[in-house]
Amino acid sequence: MFGRLTLIGIGLIGGSIARVARRDGLAGEIVVSTRRQETLDRAAELGLGDRYTTDMAAAVEGADCVIVSVPVGASEAVAQAIGPHLKPGAIVSDVGSVKADVVRQMAPHLPAHAHFVPAHPVAGTEHSGPDAGFAELFHNRWCILTPPPGTDPAAVEHLAAFWRATGSKVETMTPEHHDMVLAITSHIPHLIAYNIVGTAAHLEQVTASEVIKFSAGGFRDFTRIAASDPTMWRDVFLHNKEAVIEMLGRFIEDLFALQRAVRFSDGDALFELFTKTRAIRRGIIDVGQDTAAPDFGRASAGGPAEILAKG
Ligand SMILES: NC(=O)C1=CN([C@@H]2O[C@H](COP(=O)(O)OP(=O)(O)OC[C@H]3O[C@@H](n4cnc5c(N)ncnc54)[C@H](O)[C@@H]3O)[C@@H](O)[C@H]2O)C=CC1
Ligand SMILES: O=C(O)C(=O)Cc1ccc(O)cc1
pLDDT in tens, 33-85: 999 999 999 999 999 999 999 999 999 999 999 999 999 999 999 999 999 99
CB 244 within 8 A of CB 215: no
The answer on 151 and 123 residing in a single domain is yes
Domain boundary among 130, 145, 173: 173
**Ligand 1 atom having least distance to the Cα of 16:** 13
ipTM value > 0.90? yes
CA-nearest residue, atom 2 of ligand 2: 125
The answer on 257 and 149 residing in a single domain is no
The answer on 181 and 158 residing in a single domain is no
Distance 13 CA to ligand 1 centre (A): 7
Q: How confident is the model at residue 220 (pLDDT cuts 50, 70, 90)?
A: confident
Residues with Cβ within 8 Å of 42's Cβ and at least 6 positions away in sequence, in order, are: 129, 130, 131
Spatial separation of the C-alpha atoms in residues 244 and 100, rounded to whole Å: 13
Of 232, 240, 103, residue with least CA distance to 183: 240
**Ligand 2 atom having least distance to the Cα of 123:** 13
**Ligand 1 atom having least distance to the Cα of 132:** 18
Domain boundary among 139, 173, 207: 173
- Global pTM reads 0.92
Q: Which residues pair with 53 in a beta bridge?
A: 33
The answer on 160 and 45 residing in a single domain is yes
pLDDT in tens, 90-126: 999 999 999 999 999 999 999 999 999 999 999 999 9
The answer on 181 and 142 residing in a single domain is no
**Number of helices followed by number of strands (H, E) in the chain:** 15, 9
Q: What angle do CA 215, 221, 222 make, to 5 degrees?
A: 85
Distance 70 CA to ligand 1 centre (A): 4
Spatial separation of the C-alpha atoms in residues 40 and 272, rounded to whole Å: 53
- According to the model, what pLDDT value does residue 162 have? 98
Distance 89 CA to ligand 2 centre (A): 31
Q: Which residues pair with 6 in a beta bridge?
A: 31, 66
**Ligand 1 atom having least distance to the Cα of 122:** 43
> If you average pLDDT over every residue of the chain, what do you get?
92
Spatial separation of the C-alpha atoms in residues 236 and 102, rounded to whole Å: 10
Q: Which residues pair with 143 in a beta bridge?
A: 121, 170
pLDDT in tens, 143-155: 999 999 999 999 9
Question: Backbone phi, then psi, for 91, in 5-degree steps?
Answer: -95, 130
- The answer to whether residue 298 scores a pLDDT higher than 70 is no
CB 176 within 8 A of CB 103: no
- According to the model, what pLDDT value does residue 296 have? 39
To test the pocket of ligand 2, the residue of 143, 228, 233, 237 to mutate (highest count of ligand atoms within 8 Å of its CB) is 228
| Helices 230-239, 188-202: inter-axial angle, 10-degree rounding | 120
Distance 256 CA to ligand 1 centre (A): 35
Domain boundary among 143, 173, 203: 173
Distance 225 CA to ligand 2 centre (A): 8
Spatial separation of the C-alpha atoms in residues 110 and 81, rounded to whole Å: 10
Domains: count for the chain: 2
Whether residue 311 is contained in a domain is answered as no
Q: Provide the CA 267 distance to its chain's centre, in angstroms.
A: 37
Nearest ligand to residue 41 Cα: 1
